[in-house]
Structure 1
Amino acid sequence: MTATGADQDAAGTQVARRSWWWWGRRRSVVLDGALAVVSALECGLEGVGFAEQASLPVPVGVLFGLVVGSVLLVRRRWPITVVLVSIAVTPAEMGYLMGIVGLYSLAASEVPRRYTAALAGMSTVAVYVVTVVRMRQDVAQADAGQPDFDPSGWYVPVVSIFMTLGLNAPPVLFGLYIGARRRLMESLRERADSLEQELSLLADRAEQRAQWARQEERTRIAREMHDVVAHRVSLMVVHAAALQAVALKDPQKAVRNAALVGDMGRQALTELREMLGVLREEVPSPSATSAPPGSPPPSAPSGPSAAVPLAAVGRAAAAAAEAAAAEGGPCLDALEALVEQSRQAGVVVELVVTGERRRYGAEVEQTAYRVVQEALTNVHKHAAGAEVVVRLAHREAEVAMQVENGPSAAGVADADLPSGGNGLVGMRERVSRLGGVFVSGPTDAGGFRVSAVLPVEARSAEAAEPATS
């Protein structure tokens, strides 16, 4: 038998079946019990007349009526059974309340509509036939002395139709309305639950994106700081060691080394100040720019929304770095000066450039410069006294760079510079972000080689102008 909404309350809420059999709530048990008691009493009283007509003992008729009326107790679980019983006892002229409530429960349940229509039609026909027969008997007895009045004419059928529709149509229509309303409420509740789950999923994804953005910006800022400071400080340490070695033997060379250390320290401080200045800049939010003058400033964001200012700072830092490269900062034109600084530190460096020099996008220029710079920094840290070859190749659709050093010189003392192990990782991240290829590893001769290839067609200076304008 199809479920009939027995597990639903009056509002249509699906509830768990507890110890109340098929009822969801205690008030449903009370309501159905009260209706069953009233129906049983009604059928018991009507059983007296049924017993007289059927020539049965009155207690048998009353007992039959009580049993028939109590069937209403199962109206939520088996509404079809209740309607069939009410149709069966219609000729006995009993069970009017059971028929009305049964039709309502059937129409409001989840029983297929074809079954509901068939049972409602059967009940209507049964009530109509019984009403016609009963009215003909009553009219015949009342008007036996009036030969001009014919009860089999239009009066009895028309009145019987109105009485039948009055008994059957309201409960069926009201039950259909309640059932449709219940299904609508369930549909709206399911949609609300679905929307709530979707919003929760979107919130989780937003939190993941915010966490990813925070981590990405931290990595980017750390990479920028590493590239800005590590090379200068490494050269300063190398020059300081050379200064200590020649301070007594060659005062003139010591003076030159001291001047170089000072210049590099000032350059490192300048670049560090520029980077920290970008990080300290306040990024205006859309709400702040659209606020009227004199309005109070918005409160600081917290939670997942705190990633928005951090991402904006990271974008501002990247934009500042690109602007610095475009204005003559770290770019390929500064490679000669970069190599010369390493030469002044006592490293033998050879710079080999092939191909025709072209202007590339600011990000490509800065990335190429940082790769060579970090490779030379690693030479100062790990390969003291090694000979270095820096190769730069300008090709049709890409720019390639390679820094290769030989084994460390046996007679040269190590500068004992600390290493965090992030140099190669940072270079790989920079190159991969531009869609390039990065390869690093030891050579057969005992040295180390760093190679990178960057695509330049999509990030040329001419192609970048519309995006930045």
Structure 2
Amino acid sequence: MTMTGEKQGGEGRAGPMWWGRPREAALDVGLGVVSAAECGFEGVAFAREAGLPTAVGVVFGVLVGSTLVLRRRWPVAVVLLSLAVSPTAMGFLLGVVALYTLAASEVPRRITVLLSVLSLAATFAVTYVRTEGDVEASGTYLLVLSGFIAIGLTAPPVLLGLYIGARRRLMESLQERADSLERELGLLADRAEERAEWARQEERTRIAREMHDVVAHRVSLMVVHAAAVQAVARKDPDKAAKNAALVGDMGRQALTELREMLGVLRAVEKPVQPVQPVRPVRAPAAAAVSVALAAAPAPAPVEEGPALAELEVLVGQSRAAGMVVELVVQGEAGGYAAEVEQTAYRVVQEALTNCHKHAPGARVTVRLAHRGDEVAMQVENGPCDSEAKDAGLPSGGNGLVGMRERVLGLGGVFVSGPTDAGGFRVSAVLPGRSG
């Protein structure tokens, strides 16, 4: 049996051989030396009683006592050896320390109880036999005296060992639970950081979509009106002046919307204090979660954006730019969420912008249908007028992607593609309340 109070194996071992720490090795060696000296001294009397040379008794005692060094490695063997030499009346320290080590070790309790009872019986028998020849007293007195001595030499080390072993196991269990908790907190910190990064990425994407919608639509109309001003500047100065005024209005509206978005960014943005590195021990693991959660950007407030009621103005701006646009509204508007109305507006806005870019001169139909708990919109343009002059507007290829992301983000449905008549259609359906 090689189970001891310390866990066996090389994991976490810092001491020599089977000892966990150097001080444990020093303690056992010191106890072994003291036990060897005691047993060597007691070996003199044993040699005389047995009729052996004194040197043999001393050497035997030293060998027996020095086995205490092995108490952590083989506690059962050391206890059995102390039981074997108990008739020789040597090994007091050996027996007491061996019983303590056995009780504190990981040896099964039934073996500990059995060896403790055997040690109690052996101590009682040896004490009774030796006391009977030295003390003249009644048998009852000798039995009580022997029992008291046997219990005094056996019970305290066993009980102390059981207490120390239970305390050690409790501390190991708490240590394991603390390590497990630290690992879980580390995972939570990693997930919190991932959520913070995801939130930042989502916010950057949202801002990019808003910037694209504002800049692409307003600037596209400005380019169209600028081209119209250039075309009619000499022929119709009044119309040129009107178009120039429209260009100015478009520019001012674009600047106003950009300032509103930048104002939201400044309001949300907060200075981040540098976090000092800390040692990865128990408490900092929980602190890491708090730091990661605190670093996550707060959800940006939904700014006052465009609404469905402004679609008529939006369509009017495209008409003023020379586009033939028809707006068809079906049903009565319900109480939609602000982000739903804003998304619906942006879808129509981006679709009209694409018509200005890719279908100059085409007839466009904008349909808006209120269906109780949802709202549907469709923007369809006919074939492009081959004689219409291309405004030369650049395209980043993100218009349809942005519209799809907006609609799907609210749990809606988005479909786009060419029509059989040679035009293009964009359709979307949004729930009345965002998820």
Instruction: Give the TM-score of the pair, scaled to structure 2.
Output: 0.88
Find out whether 1:260 has 2:246 as its counterpart. yes
Residue 76 of structure 2 is aligned to residue 80 of structure 1 = yes
The amino acid of 2:197's aligned partner reads Q
User: For residues 358 and 69 of structure 1, do their structure 2 counterparts lie closer, same or farther at Cα, with a shift above 3 Å needed?
Assistant: closer
1:4-15 map, 5 Å: 4-7=4-7
- Counterpart in the other structure of 1:354: 330
Show structure 2 runs of 5+ residues with no match. Answer: 276-289
Paired residue for 2:387, among 393, 406, 411?
411
- Selected match of 1:55 from 51, 57, 61: 51
Cα distance, 1:373 vs structure 2: 0.6
After superposition, give the CA deviation of every residue in 1:120-154 in whole Å (9 maximum; x if it has no partner). Answer: 111010000000010001124xxxxxxxxxx2432
Query: Cα–Cα, structure 1 residues 194 and 229, in superposed 2: closer, same or farther, change >3 Å?
Result: same
Which residue of 2 is the match for residue 27 of structure 1?
A: 23
* SS of alignment partner, residue 17 of structure 2: coil
Please tell me whether the aligned partners of residues 75 and 98 of structure 2 are also in contact (alpha carbons under 8 angstroms).
Answer: yes
Distance (Å, rounded) in 2 between the aligned partners of 1:107 and 1:242: 100
Within 5 A, what are the aligned runs for 1:365-404? 365-404=341-380
AA aligned to 1:121 is: V
- Structure 1 residue runs of 5 or longer lacking an equivalent are 9-13, 141-150, 286-298, 325-329, 465-469
Asked whether the 8 Å contact 2:189–2:292 carries over to 1, the reply is: no
Q: SS of the counterpart of 2:238?
A: helix
Query: Could you tell me whether the CA contact under 8 Å between 1:351 and 1:389 is conserved in 2?
Result: yes
Contact 1:405 1:448 in 2 (8 A): yes
Aligned position for 1:45: 41
Alignment of 1:186-205 (within 5 A): 186-205=172-191
Tell me, in whole angstroms, the C-alpha distance in 2 between the residues paired with 1:302 and 1:27. Answer: 43
Q: Give the Cα–Cα distance (whole angstroms) in 1 for the partners of residues 145 and 336 of structure 2.
A: 98
8 Å contact kept, 2:268–2:300: no
- SS of equivalent to 1:281: helix
Residue from 301, 314, 323 that aligns with 1:338: 314
Give the match for residue 281 of structure 1: 267
Q: Does 1:129 align with 2:128?
A: no
Aligned residues of 2:3 and 2:75 also touching (Cα < 8 A)? no
In structure 1, what is the equivalent of residue 150 of structure 2?
Answer: 164
Q: Deviations for 1:265-297, whole angstroms, at most 9, x for unmatched residues?
A: 2222222233333333368x9xxxxxxxxxxxx
Cross-structure match for 2:61: 65
Q: Deviations over 1:23-68 (max 9, x none)?
A: 1222222222222222223222322322333333333333322222
Q: Which amino acid aligns with 1:33?
A: V
**Where does residue 284 of structure 2 map in the other structure?**
none
Work out the CA distance in 2 between the residues paired with 1:352 and 1:406: 16
Displacement of 1:305:
5.7
Say if 1:22 and 1:400 are closer, same or farther in 2 by CA, change over 3 A.
same
- Identify if the C-alpha distance between structure 1 residues 19 and 171 changes in structure 2 by more than 3 Å, giving closer, same or farther: closer
Report the residue type matching 2:172 in the other structure.
E
Match of 1:145 in 2: none
- CA drift at 1:243: 1.1
Q: 1:440 aligns with which of 407, 416, 424?
A: 416
- Separation in 1, partners of 2:70, 2:79: 11
Cα RMSD (Å): 2.6
Task: Decide whether aligned partners of structure 1 residues 305 and 373 sit closer, same or farther in structure 2, where only a CA change above 3 A counts.
Answer: farther
In structure 1, C-alpha distance between the alignment counterparts of 2:300 and 2:6, rounded to whole Å:
60
1:221 aligns with 2:197: no
Give the whole-Å Cα distance in 2 for the aligned partners of 1:305 and 1:63.
67
Q: Is the 8 A contact 2:2 2:75 kept in 1?
A: no
Query: Quick one: distance in 2 between partners of 1:29 and 1:374?
Result: 80
2:300 aligned partner:
315
Structure 2 counterpart of 1:426, from 396, 402, 407: 402
Tell me the number of residue pairs that the alignment of Structure 1 and Structure 2 aligns. Answer: 420
Alpha-carbon separation, structure 1, partners of 2:294 and 2:57: 82
